[in-house]
Amino acid sequence: MAAETVKTESVSLKNLDDSMIIERYTGFSSKFSAMDDATCKWLQHNFKGVRAIIMRGEKSLKADIKDIQTGDMLVELDSFPPSLKKLTIVNGRLIEELKKRGFLKFHVTRVKKQLTQKQVKQKEAVEESSEMIHKAKESVAISKGATAAVENLMDNTRDGKMEIGDVSGYVDSIIGSGSAEAMGVLTSLKQSDQTYAHCTDVAAIFQSAYIKLKEREGIELPPEKKHEMLLGAFMHDIGKAKVPKDILDSTARFERDSREMQLMQSHPAFGAEILTNMGSSDMVINMAHYHHVKLDTSMNSSYPQGTKFDDLYMETRLIAIVDVYQALVGRRSYKKSWAPPAAMKFIDQLSGIEFDIDAWNNFYQIIGKYPVASLVEMNDGSIAFVVQAAVEDLDKPRVAVIRNAKGEDLTNNSLIDLAEEADIKIVKDLDNYDVLGDASLDIFTNLKIT
């Protein structure tokens, strides 16, 4: 593999990496300030043929390493012979040895290696995945803030004060930072609730999928359209503001014909009324009004009753799927969540029965068989997080290994593109809470992908 010299520079020990060749050692620990006999002999034995710059008394001298003396202060080591190449070509083993011996600063030549096409692709994949992890970590605070804004909005609406300013502000922030996809990734990793965090997660997943769907159709959504759709997704359950809070926040299972269930199933009609009074678009109203309508409208779980499925906009058919997906994978304190791949498989079985087949196929192709943040086991026994959904073969996403086949947790996480590795494959999807417990979110957002 060819190599091209880029530049020379001075670096400290902590900044050394394997793209460097050391030309001179220029900084040393205190034991080299007034060297004792043992230090001199060690240098003379291990640095044969190297030239030293020393301070002897008040004089700066250039000397062969064999001529250094007790009491000299070492200033620099340079002119390494070819036989000592192992002391100049930087690698992990050399860095550890330099740290142990007290060598602190260096003048290096940085070398840029000419990468193969496969290496370039891997490097780009690592950068893409690392950027996604960074955005996911930043999105934790955004998600919490947006969820609090949704709760305040519903409380205020319940009290007769409709103020969407805070939620609208988060919409602008999410669109401006491009963080919708990263927020959606967090859904299966964090503790949430059935109303407020649900609205936030559904909005993020819907927006990410909707924008990608439009891009596939060759449509670039203008900022005002992105704002309308994301705000509409946040507001899809706004009708729950008219449900008493003790019912809304209850974790009890209500009987089908109970007053509580009737009120809960009235929230789409309530939402349509609220949004109509706000002057929202027909599409946003449709999303709130009909996102619980099933393809088979005779089902008990389909409401409002008497609705024709043909009345549902495409956007409503999509958010209906996202709504169920989030309800399955979102972690609740009172129920066991589904692993994202299991949720995808379940909804797939209901497509064409409860859900529009075209909307489902679009969602499935965009989110993937193994959505990002799915925890999976590989055929070698290692465990990994999915960090990028597959593009062509949906069984072969990109994964970052967090635990090796020996069961050892890793601090550096190798990226594997399963589309490029014929011998490695996913054999099982795992429940991240069962395997990692409350550490799931922290582990995922602190992945160090290599």
Does 185 lie in the same domain as 57?
Answer: no
pLDDT for residue 63 is more than 90:
yes
Last residue of a domain, one of 62, 83, 114: 114
260 and 339 within one domain? yes
In a domain, 434, yes or no: yes
Q: Which of 255-259, 387-391, 419-423, 442-446 is the least confident region?
A: 255-259
Q: Is residue 123 part of a domain?
A: no
- Do 428 and 344 fall into the same domain? no
Least confident among 191-195, 279-283, 394-398, 435-439: 191-195
Task: Kindly state whether residue 420 falls inside one of the protein's structural domains.
Answer: yes
Establish if 129 belongs to a structural domain: no
Is residue 406 domain-shared with residue 361, that is, in the same domain?
no
Shared domain for 174 and 151, answered yes or no, is yes
Contact status, residue 152 vs residue 392, Cβ threshold 8 Å: no
Sequence-distant (6+) residues with CB within 8 A of 442 are: none
Query: Of 349, 366, 383, which marks where a domain is finished?
Result: 366
Cα distance between residue 53 and residue 63, in whole Å = 6
pTM of the model: 0.76
pLDDT of amino acid 333? 65
What is the dihedral sign for C-alpha 332, 336, 341, 343?
A: negative
Q: Which of 366, 396, 425 is the last residue of a domain?
A: 366
Q: What is the CATH number of the domain that holds 236?
A: 1.10.3210.10
Closest to 362 in 3D by CA, of 234, 254, 211: 211
| CB 285 within 8 Å of CB 272 | yes
Clarify whether residues 83 and 186 are in a common domain: no
Taking alpha carbons only, the member of 160, 161, 240, 165 closest to residue 195 is: 240
In this structure, are residues 140 and 445 in contact, taking their beta carbons and an 8 Å threshold?
yes
Domain contains 127? no
Where residue 418 falls among pLDDT bands split at 50, 70, 90?
very high
Provide the 10 A C-beta neighbour count for residue 450. 13
Quick one: 195 and 226 in the same domain?
A: yes
Torsion sign, CA atoms 255, 256, 259, 261: positive
At 1, the pLDDT band (50, 70, 90 cuts) reads very low
Of 1-10, 79-88, 290-299, the least confident: 1-10
Does one domain contain both 24 and 110?
Answer: yes
Same domain, 191 and 298: yes
What is the total count of domains within the chain?
3
pLDDT at 5: 57
Which tokens hold the place of 117? 């096409």
- Show the domain range for 106: 3-114
pLDDT band at residue 331, thresholds of 50, 70 and 90? confident
Q: Give the integer Cα–Cα distance in Å for 415 and 399.
A: 6
Q: Judge whether 125 lies within some domain.
A: no
pLDDT tops 90 at residue 183: yes
Encoded amino acid at 252, one letter: A
Together in a domain, 73 and 153: no
* Residues 403 and 346 reside in one and the same domain: no
My answer on whether 144 and 80 are in the same domain is no
- Find out whether 88 and 106 touch, Cβ atoms under 8 Å: no
